[in-house]
Amino acid sequence: MLASALLPLLRRMDAERAHDLALRALSLGLAGRDATPDDPRLAVDALGLHFGNPIGLAAGFDKNAVALAPLSRLGFGFVEAGTVTPRPQPGNPRPRLFRLEEDRAVINRMGFNNAGIDAYLPRLAAYRRGRGVPVGANVGINKEGADPERDYPALIAAVAPHADYIVINVSSPNTPGLRDLQGETRLRAILLAVAAAVPQRPPLLVKVAPDLSEQGLAAIVETCVAAGVEGLIVSNTTIARPPGLRSPQARQPGGLSGAPLFDASTAALAHVARQAAGRLVLVGVGGVASGRAALAKIRAGASLVQLYTGFAYGGPALIPRLKRELLAALDEQGFARLSDAIGADIPGLVPSS
C-alpha cells in the first residue's frame, strides 16, 4: 500500500504534521483497501451490532470524521471518530505530540483539538449512509465554558441518528478537570442527564483511564450498569511513566500510549471484566500491535479491541497482518472461534477475594 510505503518519510517529520499528512492521504483514497473477506471465526456480535472482526480504530486518529470511508476499507472491523466537542477549539500549544520510537509509544497532550460538532456531524451522517463498517462517535467537552450535564446530552442527541454506538470520553488527561468526571457522583449525574434528554439512542459506552484504583474502576462499573450504559472502553492513555522507558521524550507531560501501556491497561480491563460479570460489553485498548496482544485483551474480557499507536507505527499493512496473527493465535491456544476466548483469563488475572 502507498500509505505504508510512505511511513519512513513521515517518521522524519514532526509527529503532528506527519499525522495530518497521513490523514489527508487517507481522505484522498491513497491508502488502498484490504479486499480479503474476514474469516468467520473472527466475527463478534456485541452491542446489538455485527462486527466482521474485532479490530477497531480508536478515537483520536480521525477527530473530525474526514476519512471514515477510506479507513473502513483498510480491514478494520469498526472505526471511531472524535473526540468531538460542542464548539471548535485549537487544543493545547504545539508541540503536543511526541514519538517515543525506542519504546514503540507516543505521548500526546493535544487537548481535544477539533473543528466542533457542526463540522463533524454532516461527515458522520454521510459515512453512515454509505453503510460501511460500524462507526462510533466519541464525544467530549470544551476546555472553557463547559457544562457536562448540558453538553454531553446535547452531543449525544446530535450524533445519535448517525452513529452505531456513542462513547462518552471522561478520561483524557489533557483537558483540565475532565478525569474528575469519572468520579461516581459526577458520572452518575451526567448519565442521568443523558438518559433524560436522549431516551432513544444507540449503545452508549464510557471510556475510562488506566490510572484509577480497583475501587474506582468498580464504582464506575456499578454506576454505568445502574444507568443503563452498554459498555466500557478500557483504557485511555496513562499519565504514569512505567520503568524502563528509553526515549528522551519520555519526560514530556501528557498521555502515554503504545506498548508500555499494555500491561496496565490489560490489568485494568481484567478488573473491570471481573466486576462487570457480563453486564457490560468491554473494548480493550492499549498497546495492541500484534495478534497475540489482541487475543490477550480478549482473554482478559474484551469483546472488541482498538488500536491507535500501533496503527500509527505500522500503517495500513498492520490490519490484515493482525487478523492473520489473531487467527494463528486462536489455533495455537485452542479456540475454535474468537467468541470462545472472551474472558478466558479473568479468573487467573484477577483472583477471587
Average pLDDT, the chain: 93
Grid coordinates representing 8?
Answer: 519512513
| Structural domains of the chain, ranges and CATH numbers in brackets | 2-349 (3.20.20.70)
Tell me what pLDDT residue 1 has. 47
Tell me what pLDDT residue 11 has. 66
**pLDDT tens-place string over residues 190-223:** 999 999 999 999 999 999 999 999 999 999 999 9
Which of 310, 288, 308 is CA-nearest to residue 298? 288
Least confident of 27-31, 64-68, 132-136: 27-31
Check pLDDT > 90 for residue 148: yes
Tell me what pLDDT residue 141 has. 96
**pLDDT tens-place string over residues 91-130:** 999 999 999 999 999 999 999 999 999 999 999 999 987 7
**pLDDT tens-place string over residues 213-266:** 999 999 999 999 999 999 999 999 999 999 999 999 999 999 999 999 999 999
Grid coordinates representing 322?
Answer: 493482525
Quote the DSSP letter at residue 114: B
Grid coordinates representing 77?
Answer: 472491523
- The answer to whether 272 and 232 are in contact (CB under 8 A) is yes
**pLDDT tens-place string over residues 49-82:** 999 999 999 999 999 999 999 999 999 999 999 9
- The answer to whether 215 and 146 are in contact (CB under 8 A) is no
Reported residue count of the chain is 353
- The answer to whether 300 and 269 are in contact (CB under 8 A) is yes
Check pLDDT > 50 for residue 189: yes
> Residues with catalytic annotation?
172
Tell me what pLDDT residue 9 has. 56
Q: Is the full-model pTM beyond 0.85?
A: yes
**pLDDT tens-place string over residues 74-99:** 999 999 999 999 999 999 999 999 99
**pLDDT tens-place string over residues 291-329:** 999 999 999 999 999 999 999 999 999 999 999 999 999
- 284's CB contacts (< 8 A; 6+ apart) are 234, 265, 266, 269, 297, 298, 300, 301, 302, 304, 305, 306
Burial class of residue 165 (count of CB atoms within 10 Å of its CB; 0-12, 13-18, 19+): buried
Dihedral of CA atoms 72, 237, 258, 133 in degrees, nearest 10, equals -10
